[in-house]
């Protein structure tokens, strides 16, 4: 079983629920060890005191903050805890809000909260059931690893899922990025409608399981080949597609119409293929696209109605 990253209490009103916090992210990255090139022996990292030039055990290492005058203030773990004793041990729920009011820009890392014991489990169940029926998410704060976290908590599959969030001043203002845009002519109604038609044609339900981490798969394949002693060569850069260089003044309307025509043509042939497949049972050959085939025949059907 995974290791708890933090234990403490979840508190709403005067109800206190002892909980443990686990990461909701599984590390699927391919990890490399650092090796010494000439002899392929593993590299060890040692922590060395710069003053004494000798190795320092972890227990002798503290946090330091550099003052403007170059002096250092040393802080032990208990000093840091003393800065916020309650917050270091308690997630205080301060408010309940609508999920969609929280812009994903604020989302940082996902975790799962688990009740510590059977007594806690009852209060935990009470909170998650009450939240599930109200449809709201809880906002709270706590301190973990010398950092205060604003968090949102929502019921998910019988558990409470917690997401750490960025504070308002950690989200940069976007004003400068959009600055020059106001002086540019707004797109015409027709252009926007065409763009929205493309969006509608390409709309699918969000099915995250359908997206594979190709980077991981490629890296695994390379390791396998190398292990067999095969040579890995850098793929040749793809020649730039000369067919559609972006024109200096892009013909937006032309690109929109051409896209729609192509997508609809593709969609039409797909619907035909899909309905043929259905009669044969479940062995529908998936279209050659990498991603989950849109399984919304209703939508496609309405699209195909537009076909002449």
Partner 1 sequence: MPRSIWNGTVAFGLVRVPVKLYSATESKRIPLRERHAEDGAAIEHRRLCSKEGREVPYSEIVKGYEVSEDSYVVLTKEEVAAAEGPEAHVVEIEHFVDREQIDPAYYERSYYVGPGKLGEESYRLLHAALERSARAGIGRFVFHNKAHLVAIRAVEDVIVLHTMRFADELASGEDLEPAKPEKRPSKLELDTAQLLLAQLDAKFEPESYANTYRDAVMAMIEKKAKGEAIEAPENLQATPEGDLLGALEASLAQSGASRGKGAAKKRSRSTTPVGKPPKRPAPGATKRSAGAKRATAATAPKRKPTRGED
Of 75-134, binders to partner 1 (CB under 8 A) are 75-76, 78-89, 92-98, 100-107, 110, 112, 114-127, 129-131, 133-134
- CB nearer to partner 1: give 179 or 279: 179
Q: Confirm or reject binding of residue 288 to partner 1 (CB under 8 A).
A: no
Report which of 143, 144, 162 is spatially closest to residue 152, judged by C-alpha positions. 162
Q: Report in angstroms how near the CB of residue 279 gets to partner 1 at its nearest.
A: 27
- CB nearer to partner 1: give 240 or 279: 240
- CB nearer to partner 1: give 86 or 286: 86
For the CA atoms of 251, 256, 259, 264, what is the dihedral angle to 10 degrees?
-150
Contact (CB, 8 A) for 93 and 123: no
Q: Confirm or reject binding of residue 263 to partner 1 (CB under 8 A).
A: yes
- CB nearer to partner 1: give 185 or 308: 185
- CB nearer to partner 1: give 34 or 280: 34
Q: Confirm or reject binding of residue 268 to partner 1 (CB under 8 A).
A: no
d(CA 199, CA 189): 15
Q: Report in angstroms how near the CB of residue 101 gets to partner 1 at its nearest.
A: 4
Q: How many residues bind partner 1 (CB under 8 A)?
A: 187
20-49 binders of partner 1 (CB under 8 A): 22-28, 30-49
Count CA atoms closer than 13 A to 65's CA, side-chain side: 7
Count CA atoms closer than 13 A to 264's CA, side-chain side: 18
210-239 binders of partner 1 (CB under 8 A): 211-215, 218-219, 222-223, 226-227, 232-235, 237-238
Report which of 142, 147, 166, 165 is spatially closest to residue 19, judged by C-alpha positions. 142
Q: Confirm or reject binding of residue 157 to partner 1 (CB under 8 A).
A: yes
Distances (CA, A) of 209 to 20, 206, 213: 27, 9, 10
Q: Residues 245, 246, 248, 251: is their CA dihedral positive or negative?
A: positive
Q: Report in angstroms how near the CB of residue 108 gets to partner 1 at its nearest.
A: 8
CB atoms within 10 A of CB 93: 19
Structure tokens at 77: 């773990």
Q: Confirm or reject binding of residue 72 to partner 1 (CB under 8 A).
A: yes
CB atoms within 10 A of CB 135: 11
Q: Report in angstroms how near the CB of residue 173 gets to partner 1 at its nearest.
A: 9
């Amino acid at each position: 079983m995974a290791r708890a990253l933090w234990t403490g209490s979840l508190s709403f009103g005067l109800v206190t629920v002892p909980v443990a916090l686990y990461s909701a992210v599984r590390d699927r990255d391919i990890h490399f060890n650092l090796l010494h090139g000439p002899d392929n022996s593993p590299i060890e990292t040692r922590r060395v005191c710069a003053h004494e030039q000798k190795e320092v055990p972890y227990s002798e290492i503290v946090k330091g903050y550099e003052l403007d005058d170059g002096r250092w203030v040393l802080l032990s773990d208990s000093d840091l805890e003393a800065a916020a004793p309650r917050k270091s041990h308690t997630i205080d729920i301060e408010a309940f809000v609508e999920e969609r009011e929280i812009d994903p820009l604020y989302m940082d890392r996902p975790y799962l909260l688990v009740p510590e014991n059977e007594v806690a489990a009852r209060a935990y169940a009470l909170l998650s059931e009450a939240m599930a029926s109200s449809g709201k998410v809880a906002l709270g704060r706590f301190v973990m690893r010398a950092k205060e976290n604003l968090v949102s908590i929502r019921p998910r599959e019988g558990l409470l899922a917690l997401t750490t969030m960025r504070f308002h001043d950690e989200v940069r203002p976007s004003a400068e990025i959009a600055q020059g845009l106001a002086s540019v002519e707004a797109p015409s109604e027709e252009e926007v409608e065409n763009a929205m038609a493309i969006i509608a044609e390409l709309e699918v339900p969000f099915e995250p399981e359908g997206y594979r981490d190709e980077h991981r798969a490629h890296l695994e394949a390379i390791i396998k080949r190398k292990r067999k002693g095969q040579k890995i060569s850098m793929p040749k850069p793809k020649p730039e597609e000369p067919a559609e260089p972006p024109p200096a003044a892009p013909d937006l309307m032309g690109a929109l119409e051409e896209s729609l025509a192509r997508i609809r043509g593709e969609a039409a042939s797909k619907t035909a293929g899909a309905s043929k497949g259905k009669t044969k049972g479940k062995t529908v050959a998936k279209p050659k696209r990498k991603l989950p085939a849109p399984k919304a025949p209703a939508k496609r059907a309405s699209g195909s109605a537009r076909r002449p």
